Structure 1
Amino acid sequence: MNAGKRRRIFERLRAANPHPTTELNYRTPFELLVAVILSAQATDKGVNKATALLFPVANTPQAILDLGLDGLKRYIRTIGLYNSKTENIIKTCRILVEQHGGKVPHDRAALEALPGVGRKTANVILNTAFGEPTMAVDTHIFRVANRTRLAPGKTPLAVEKKLLKVVPPEFLKDAHHWLILHGRYVCTARSPKCPECLIRDLCEYKGKTERQEAGSKRQVKTASAG
């Protein structure tokens, strides 16, 4: 895919959604951190239901430490892997209180040192909470980047590095959200919605072209028969 196509892709995504953001509900960097930790192998909708009950009661590291393991579990037990997530959040809160003054650090190494926080989560925090032009490659972005040929790569890290290299700088801050939303609602893993995709003429997904041509031929044949 050439640079011109990439630019047009992001121009269209921006025109359709000028101010994209995460679908996780949060008001502070710490709330976002907790929500992202909870979102692993869980839906944003499910996380939002749990945090809607948790955050009014405890939305700071110290407040969650005061809840304790059992207290926190009561709020997040509807979320998958809640036992391990509870332990990670409690450990993370303790580190934030003891080493960072109760604040979420604006630093990749410090973020990745927190229990339950890997490169992807750190990138989400850096991008969404602090406005850095980073790229958190989840399954949606990995699929979209490879399927469209926007930034093909064999691993999430390879895709991340390629995207950071080829996405025009003016789009980098929001590209993470545009690609996630596109993968979540349009370029889905099964039965991607190619006919309604706003970048389908720029996309280089071979399967898309074949299916659409076949569909068009069937429609022409049916119309002729009628």
Structure 2
Amino acid sequence: MFDTAAVRRARKILRLLRVRYPDARLELDFASPLQLLVAAVLAAQTLDERVNAVTPALFARYPTAADLAAAEPAEMEQILVPVGYYRKKTQSVIALAAALVEHHGGEVPRTVDELVALPWVGRKTANMVLGNAFSIAAVSVDTHVSRVAERLGWSPARDVDTAEVAIRTLFPRKDWVEANLLLILHGRRTCHSQKPACGACPLLADCPSAGLAGKGELDPDKARALLKDPA
């Protein structure tokens, strides 16, 4: 799929991103696989910060899958109001927890097939949980990852499946989770969807989409002002 030169360039990009984001981590807070799985469901169409603001109270009130499954919807809804679509998300969390209790003894399974069989869990979420909660080599492609992968020439636009295969091909298994996290952060903080901060991007010299045909900001000072992490 990729020649040796492309692989070398990708490995260089990974090194540059490590320098740019030395403390890369998932931006959803969690203390267990269950907490990450539920937080990921809550994060649909919601900023991670909003999810992180409600999950401490949610998991203090409902610490296990059985507790979540048995929750009174009206009570859970009051906790989840800040994340938006709180009634629908309450139904989703309760249904997910009930499936965990019924089919997995309340524990989060460790395979993609078992995870995607759960309600409201897609491949992206399944791989996120495997990689970050269980340290299993996995690639979770969200909109940021697919956008950056396209701009780097690794996959077609918005092609989630090809982006996942590309990352698996370009990097060794031990680097999949880290590369995934770095691409997410880069998409959120520098390589924005509408106006990427190209002039302040560490990948400028190695990116085939630099400037984005006039849509990216190449002026270094103006680009730095676009960064979500201006430091």
Fold agreement, TM-score > 0.5: yes
Q: 2:183 aligns with which of 179, 183, 205?
A: 179
- How far apart in 2 are the matches of 1:166 and 1:106? 24
Deviates more, 1:193-202 or 1:163-172: 163-172
* 1:115 counterpart residue number: 119
Equivalents in 2 of 1:153, 1:202: separation in Å? 19
Which of 4, 9, 28 is equivalent to 1:24? 28
Task: State yes or no: 1:196 paired with 2:200.
Answer: yes
Offset of residue 215 of structure 1: 4.6
Return the alpha-carbon distance in structure 2 between the equivalents of residues 115 and 214 of structure 1. 44
Farther-moved stretch of structure 1 (145-154 vs 100-109): 145-154
Per the alignment, residue 71 of structure 1 pairs with 75
Rg larger in 1 or in 2? 1
Q: 129-138 or 158-167: which moved more? A: 158-167
In the TM superposition, residue 15 of structure 1 has moved relative to its aligned partner by: 3.2
1:45 partner letter: E
Query: How big is the shift at 1:201?
Result: 1.0
CA offsets 1:76-104 (integer angstroms, 9 cap, x no match): 12222222221121111111112211110
Q: Per the alignment, in what secondary structure is the counterpart of residue 71 of structure 2?
A: helix
State the partner residue of 1:138.
142
Shift of 1:212: 7.9
Q: Counterpart of 1:34? A: 38
Any residues of structure 2 matched to 1:143-182 within 5 Å, and which?
143-152=147-156, 154-182=158-186
Q: Structure 2 stretches of 5 or more lacking a match?
A: 221-231
How many angstroms does 1:59 deviate by?
A: 2.5
Q: Distance in 2 between matches of 1:58 and 1:209?
A: 50
Unaligned stretches of 5+ residues in structure 1: 217-226
Hey, what does 2:106 align to over in structure 1?
102
Number of equivalent positions = 216
Moved more, 186-195 or 17-26: 17-26
**Identity across matched positions, percent:** 34
The answer to whether the 8 A contact 1:151-1:166 is kept is no
Amino acid at match of 1:34: V
Q: What residue in structure 2 maps to residue 58 of structure 1?
A: 62
What letter matches 1:28 in structure 2? S
Question: Which whole-Å CA distance do the structure 2 matches of 1:109 and 1:168 have between them?
Answer: 22
Shift of 1:182: 0.4
Q: TM-score normalized by structure 2?
A: 0.85
CA distance in 1, matches of 2:113, 2:51: 26
Does the 8 Å contact 2:54/2:82 carry over to 1? yes
RMSD: 2.2
Question: Cα distance, 1:169 vs. partner?
Answer: 3.7
Considering Cα pairs closer than 8 Å and 6+ residues apart, tell me whether 1 or 2 has the greater RCO. Answer: 1
Give the alignment's TM-score, normalised by structure 1: 0.87
Correspondent of 2:95 among 91, 98, 113:
91
Which has the larger displacement, 114-123 or 69-78?
69-78
